[in-house]
Structure 1
């Protein structure tokens, strides 16, 4: 088992998939991170030495991921709502925020904004 940021991962797991399991790290950020640390994209966690795992952990601890990123997004939406901005009102009503059509397809926006309305 490999321990990264307080989470145990199996050694047979791909490093790329492991990094992308963290909230806020997608394919692009993961590719840049692997390139910066000289890790092959198809490498597995078990093939990394301890220094590489420590380097990954150090890089991730400097990034804004998981709860910090979620908190920032929640605060940004709350700020828009408190200002009374158009986007804030759309978030509060659970409607599409970025100009999507509302005549027929608002169910997806209602699902996406449901968390923000309760908070």
Structure 2
């Protein structure tokens, strides 16, 4: 098992997929990190030397991922609600925010756009 930022990864897991498992770290950002440390995109976690793993851990700790990224998204939504924008009101009501049709299919939006109604 390889340990990076509180997560255990199996030795056979691809490094690219392991990086993408972190919140707010998508395909482009993971490819950029792999290129920075000269890691092949098809490399597996077990094939990385310990020095590279510590470098990856240091790189990820300096990025805005996981709880920090979630907090930034929630702060952005709260800011939209506070200034009273259309998008903020839609978030507060739990309705689709980006212009989707609300006549028939809004169950997913109602589930995903729930924000606490305090304040």
Which structure features the higher share of helix residues?
1
Give the Cα–Cα distance (whole angstroms) in 1 for the partners of residues 5 and 75 of structure 2: 24
Give the Cα–Cα distance (whole angstroms) in 2 for the partners of residues 12 and 46 of structure 1: 6
1:31-42 mapped onto 2 (5 Å cutoff): 31-42=31-42
Tell me how far 1:54 sits from its aligned partner: 1.1
RMSD, aligned CA: 1.4
Give the Cα–Cα distance (whole angstroms) in 1 for the partners of residues 53 and 117 of structure 2: 38
Q: Residue 71 of structure 1 aligns with which residue?
A: 71
Tell me how far 1:95 sits from its aligned partner: 0.8
Tell me how far 1:96 sits from its aligned partner: 0.9
- TM-score w.r.t. length of structure 1: 0.92
1:91-106 mapped onto 2 (5 Å cutoff): 91-106=91-106
Tell me how far 1:36 sits from its aligned partner: 1.4
5+ residue gaps, structure 2? none
What SS does the aligned partner of 1:59 have?
helix
Tell me how far 1:99 sits from its aligned partner: 1.3
5+ residue gaps, structure 1? none
Q: Is contact 1:94-1:117 (8 Å) kept?
A: no
Q: How many residues align?
A: 118
What SS does the aligned partner of 1:75 have?
helix
What SS does the aligned partner of 2:8 have?
strand
Tell me how far 1:117 sits from its aligned partner: 3.7
| Structure 1 outlier segments of 4+, above 3 Å | none
Give the Cα–Cα distance (whole angstroms) in 1 for the partners of residues 103 and 11 of structure 2: 49
